[in-house]
Amino acid sequence: MVHLSPIAVMMILVLTTTTLFSSSLALVTPIVTERRAAMVSLKMSSATVPSSATSSSSSASPEFYTVQQVPGGEDDPRVVDIATFRNEMINPQAVVERAQEKRDNLDTTKVAIDGLKVGVFQVGPAVALASYFSAPETMTQDAAMMEAATNYGLFGVGLGVILAINGYSGKSVYVPDVAEATNRIVVDYSEGILRQQDFGFVAVLNENTDNDDEDMKKLRRIYRSTNGVIATVDAQWRNSPNCPKGTKKISNLPSHLHIKNMEVHYKQRSKGIGKALLKMIEDHAKQNTDAEMLTLEVAGANQPAVQLYRKVGFEPRENPNWRSKNVFMVKELK
């Protein structure tokens, strides 16, 4: 009988597993290619999406939008519209469709081989080495090597096979349903408004009419995914006994409304939308809160924004967060 050292056993295990799995994948590759070709054929026969989303819209009239406050809460559809706007105008349905398209176009053979490599060449050796060098001093070298080889097979090769099967089945790309996609983007981009800890404000296209000109029709196509939202801002009422639960407390400041996130879509800048939103926030603070000032932070390098805020009455102050390098600006409310 030929005696094989533990190292030889380990090497044979690696080579055999890799060879067998690669061969099995090669056998099914023609089937995968044929199936993928059929999918491409189906996609080419489907209707194409209009390319108007890249069109310019600079000539719309000054009255093409209105600014509104967003009540927030679970029943307010604007919460999802705001999240969609901040998610590069990709709504939940589009998130699902993109994930499905990515899965459909996945080279499952390559993904499977990559998954096998992770287990065989990365995780497996690490586990084997850790097992070998952590073996008790009472264990012989041959026994330690054999245990390392066993752990390599169990954890390295085992994981590689699992990843390969998962990748080949397409499950390496997760496809959420619409409800899950909605929850994801809302939590990422508008959770404060959802929980009504923040006040939300938006600029939206005016309602559709029969008198829309071509520029307005283009705008509606561009902002279809956001239901007309072209700009958003949220603000949090702080340092007041009347503010919502869970809001921040800032030392050495009176009751104030802090402007957190302001974004105007790049196609609609320099049209007074930002000023209109700031005016609505100021009016809301005066009429519905005991806030004595508006506050915000802006990156010092963003001088256009700094100048915009100066024009509407904000002035730089010492930042209460000494770790922050942003410019802290305040507007007193009279």
Closest by Cα among 182, 6, 192, 223 to 93: 182
Tell me, what's the pLDDT at 137?
Answer: 87
Q: What angle do CA 208, 199, 64 make, to 5 degrees?
A: 25
Q: Which residue has the higher pLDDT, 23 or 280?
A: 280
Percent of the chain with pLDDT over 70: 81
- The Cα–Cα gap between 128 and 142 comes to 13
* Confidence band, pLDDT 50/70/90 cuts, at residue 17: low
* Confidence band, pLDDT 50/70/90 cuts, at residue 158: very high
Tell me, what's the pLDDT at 244?
Answer: 92
Query: 307 Cβ partners below 8 Å, 6+ apart?
Result: none
Say if strands 256-264 and 199-205 run parallel, antiparallel, or are unpaired.
unpaired
Tell me, what's the pLDDT at 43?
Answer: 30
Percent of the chain with pLDDT over 90: 68
Q: What angle do CA 222, 228, 229 make, to 5 degrees?
A: 105
188-209: per-residue pLDDT in tens? 999 999 999 999 999 999 988 7
Domains along the chain?
6-42+107-168 (no CATH), 62-99+178-332 (3.40.630.30)
User: Helices in the chain by DSSP H: which ranges?
Assistant: 6-45, 78-86, 92-104, 108-117, 124-133, 141-151, 158-168, 178-189, 191-194, 214-222, 273-288, 303-311
- The Cα–Cα gap between 220 and 218 comes to 5
**Residue 102 contacts residue 94 (beta carbons within 8 Å):** no
Strand order in the sheet with 315-317: 65-70, 199-205, 229-238, 256-264, 293-298, 327-332, 315-317
Query: Is the pLDDT confidence value at 48 over 60?
Result: no
Query: 206 Cβ partners below 8 Å, 6+ apart?
Result: 63, 64, 65, 66
Encode 99-139 in three state secondary structure: HHHHHHCCCHHHHHHHHHHHHHHHHHHHHHHHHHHCCCCCC
Query: Is the pLDDT confidence value at 36 over 50?
Result: no
Average pLDDT over residues 33-52: 31
Longest dimension (CA), the chain: 97
Average pLDDT over residues 324-330: 95
**Residue 239 contacts residue 256 (beta carbons within 8 Å):** yes
Q: Which residue has the higher pLDDT, 282 or 61?
A: 282
Tell me, what's the pLDDT at 11?
Answer: 53
In single-letter form, the type of residue at position 72 comes to G
211-215, Cβ contacts within 8 angstroms, sequence gap of 24 or more: 215/57, 215/59, 215/60
* Confidence band, pLDDT 50/70/90 cuts, at residue 211: confident
Tell me, what's the pLDDT at 274?
Answer: 92
Average pLDDT over residues 6-18: 52
229-268: per-residue pLDDT in tens? 999 999 999 999 999 988 999 989 999 999 999 999 999 9
Radius of gyration of the chain (CA): 29
Q: Is 207 helix (H, G, I), strand (E, B) or coil?
A: coil
**Residue 83 contacts residue 7 (beta carbons within 8 Å):** no
90-140: per-residue pLDDT in tens? 999 999 999 999 999 999 999 999 999 999 999 999 999 998 999 998 999
Mean pLDDT of the chain: 84
Tell me, what's the pLDDT at 209?
Answer: 79
